[in-house]
Structure 1
Amino acid sequence: MEDNTFDPELIRTIFRLVWERRGAEREKNQFSETEAEVGPSTSKRSRLTSANANALKLSCELLRVFVTEAIQRAATMAEAEGNHIIEASHLERILPQLLLDF
């Protein structure tokens, strides 16, 4: 069953990229602080965000279930139209309800 899931290192890399981009955006949008307001190097802004192994496994499983459900719903939509191929329009139609369900 583990072969049917996403690679935890891939998910960790994606998370890290998103966290780095959000941190850079936050720093860009904030006003510069005075030296008196600067805290120790372990302040919340300077700490690196990370996820432990169990959180990564759970994220991989959630992503796998989400993608599987999206494919199944889009396939049902395609079959209802008489198509044997899932197209972007099928995914576009099922996406709003899928996001509400998750």
Structure 2
Amino acid sequence: MENQTTFDPDLIHAIFKHVWTKKSLERERLEAPENLNNEVEAGTSKKNRPTTANANALKLSCELLRSFIAEAVQRAAAIAEAEGASKIEATHLERILPQLLLDF
């Protein structure tokens, strides 16, 4: 790999933690009425355990995100060039997004 700029693993980890926390709170909210009748011992609930990410998994996630965005820009640029535009517009990204998501 040629010294390419990538995303900061700490930023990606913070995003992951935000999503995990949001999902956990949503799960708790949905399961709250069910748990009134069931007593669960402290510390045994899956939702009480912290979710973490391995450092190598974070590096891989950063590289995958970098690759995804680079591919999106290249595809959108090709569409913009074919239309004679000098800048990539949101419509160019909208046009390439369905196939890009299928490819990844």
Q: Same fold (TM over 0.5)?
A: yes
Residue 38 (structure 2) pairs with residue 62 (structure 1): no
SS of the residue 2:87 aligns to: coil
Counterpart of 1:100 in structure 2 is: 102
Query: Can you give the 5+ residue segments of structure 2 that lack an aligned partner in the other structure?
Result: none
CA RMSD of aligned residues (A): 1.5
How far did residue 3 of structure 1 move? 5.2
Q: CA deviation at 1:32?
A: 4.2
- The alpha-carbon deviation at position 15 of structure 1 amounts to 0.2
Cα displacement string for residues 32-59 of structure 1 (whole angstroms, at most 9, x for unaligned residues): 4147531340431100111010000000
Q: Which runs of 4+ in 1 moved over 4 A?
A: none
- Gapped runs of 5+ residues in structure 1? none
SS of aligned partner of 2:18: helix
Structure-2 change in CA distance of 1:22 and 1:2 (3 Å): farther
* Structure 2 CA distance for aligned equivalents of residues 2 and 49 of structure 1: 31
Alignment match, 1:9:
10
CA distance in 1, matches of 2:38, 2:94: 51
TM-score (norm 2): 0.90
Q: Partners of 1:82 and 1:36 in 2: how far apart? A: 64
Name 1:21's counterpart in structure 2.
22
Give the aligned length.
102
TM-score computed with the length of structure 1 as normaliser: 0.92
Going from structure 1 to structure 2, the CA distance change for 1:77 and 1:44 (only over 3 Å counts) comes to same
